[in-house]
Chains A and B, each alone.
Chain A
Amino acid sequence: MIEKREKAKSRTSTHKENKYSLFSLAKNAVSKHKNWSQAWRSPELKPEYDIVVIGAGGHGLATAYYLAKEHGSKNIAVIDKGWLGGGNTGRNTTIIRSNYMWDESAGIYEHSLKLWETLSHELNFNTMFSQRGVLTLAHTEHELKEMTRRVEAIRLNGIDSEVLSPRAIKQIVPIIDINPQLRYPVMGGFIQRRGGTARHDAVAWGYARAADQLGVDIIQNCEVTGFNIKKGAITGVKTVKGEIKANKVGCVVAGHAGVVAEMAGFRLPIDSRPLQALVSEPIKPILDTVIMSNSVHMYVSQSDKGELVLGAGADSYNSYSQRGSLNIIEGMLAAAVELFPVFSRLRMLRSWGGIVDTCPDASPIISKTPVKNLYFNCGWGTGGFKATPGSGHVFADLIAKDEPNSIAAPFSLDRFVGGYLIDEHGAAGVAH
């Protein structure tokens, strides 16, 4: 047994490409799936790296992957205080879409969506990306008009988006009641058919495995506690496992962005708040698209296991406790039952929370900082899962070149001084 484990270790430590394929599946089936090698190594922390990425969520792992793959960077570490993918990446409700109104947002979210479309192939890992469509409902005349305007703006950016009539919605979602007499009648809606969901863990695992194969060290259980800064430039990172030297540091710690920024001596325009979600017991297929409603205030999709995945807004107050208030869950369930009375007898299995990094304009920060060679990627708040590939891609570019590319540039920190905010509160009426 021990011998076997040793063998597996040595096999993975050479990080030889071990491709997942029909052939490897058949081969491992013969040995009853007992000999799969580890998907990534668990290396020791080295005393020095060229680039350190803090935060092994989807965004951090994607950053490391693209740094290694597209910029040829060697000697990269991704370090996390917990386990990889244990932050918001593993806690989110996985809605993916790019139907944002402003050009800047269209740039980053559509860049991401395009990467999603080939991601499983690229990573040789099934991210279970499912373009089942994301349908947002309108319940008032005003909402419908506003939505129609947004759809036009989105289409001008070349992104698919369509206004739907109540009858068209009924065809896609047979369980919805389109009776105009309802308290919240369905007056229409809009859909992005290329939107959908993906398996959150698989995204983290896929990037982790692919980055590891390119030689990236992923160090778990290694909290960052401070920085070494000389003459305004980063020289190293202090961690619970000791100090490491680094030429460049990219920080992607979501809800903890403010805490880590403080270690480097500056402040961010970010409030950290709990965002909750819950899942029901599994049931037979009943909903094959993602439904959102801003006025009734909830969103729901059905996972491949059959559970309904429900979410709504973040709590109103700052907290790091990873558990929000019960009234948010009550509101979310009341809204779900208002829209779909058929859900009323379902039992809920689990609820949980994550700490989201909310920004004043509901848009992310992908930026240089007051400290040279220290870069921050944060502020994705309630809706950054969808951006995982694109965010990592442009952040890697920023770290490698010390200059943001045209997609990342509008999201720099100086927009809060210059005033060029990218207000996407409209796009995130319910958190997602």
Chain B
Amino acid sequence: MLHIECPWCGFRDDAEFHYGGEAHITRPDPSTTLTDEKFSEYLFSKTNTKGLLLERWCHRSGCRRWFNVLRNTITNEILEVYPVTEKPSSKQGKETYERNWRRKSPPKKTPKTDEVK
């Protein structure tokens, strides 16, 4: 059982939350140059890390707001909770963010600061 701290409501059981999967995925530009491969990668490729994962949660049965979480998928330990519009600020969170393969091939012309819009 995960014990998740909603930034607005405090600690609750995971049964109250909806899982939103991997965080910080940018929808590729719907331009004519967008290939099926790139769009498939956006839609279906999963990070599915065994270890530290940045992910999205929604407090569905509570305030119904979204937020991001840094969690260890081996131990289920939650290391950081931060707003969806921001990047993680803890050391491990930053490292995890930088390590993410999606960072290596950001869609063209997307300024870094816009990544989570």
Chain A positions near chain B (C-beta within 8 angstroms):
256, 258-259, 267-272, 316-321, 325-327, 360, 416-419
Contacts and interface: CB of A to CB of B under 8 A. Distances in A.
Given A268-B46, A272-B50, 19 more contacts: A259-B50, A267-B45, A267-B46, A271-B46, A271-B48, A316-B14, A317-B2, A317-B19, A318-B21, A318-B53, A318-B55, A321-B74, A321-B75, A321-B76, A325-B1, A325-B13, A360-B44, A417-B36, A417-B40
A67 B114 CA distance: 51
Nearest to A266: B45
Contacts, number: 71
Contacts of B41: 267
A326 B76 CA distance: 14
B48 A270 contact: yes
A318 B76 contact: no
A271 B44 CA distance: 10
B109 to A, nearest CB: 23
Nearest to A267: B45
Contact of A417 (B15, B37, B75): B37
Nearest to B69: A317
B15 A319 contact: no
Interface of A is mostly: loop
Most buried by A among B19, B21, B45, B50: B50
B46 A317 contact: no
A316 B19 contact: yes
17 contacts: A258-B47, A267-B41, A267-B46, A267-B47, A270-B46, A270-B48, A317-B55, A318-B19, A318-B55, A318-B73, A319-B76, A321-B73, A321-B76, A325-B1, A416-B43, A417-B36, A419-B36
| Leading 6 A-B pairs by shortest Cβ distance | A258-B48, A269-B44, A327-B15, A267-B45, A417-B40, A317-B19
B18 interface: yes
A355 to B, nearest CB: 9
Most buried by A among B41, B46, B55: B46
B37 A269 contact: no
Interface in B1-43: 1-2, 13-15, 18-19, 21, 36-37, 40-41, 43
Most buried by A among B13, B45, B55, B75: B45
A316 B56 CA distance: 12
A317 B14 contact: yes
B48 A318 contact: yes
B1 A327 contact: yes
Contacts of B19: 316-318
A259 B46 CA distance: 11
Contact of A258 (B14, B37, B46, B74): B46
B5 to A, nearest CB: 15
Contacts of A319: 73, 76
B101 A267 contact: yes
Contacts of B14: 316-317, 325, 327
Contacts of B50: 256, 258-259, 272, 320
Given A316-B19, A416-B44, A325 B2 contact: yes
A9 to B, nearest CB: 37
Nearest to A421: B44
A360 B42 CA distance: 13
A417 B37 CA distance: 6
Contacts of B49: 258, 318
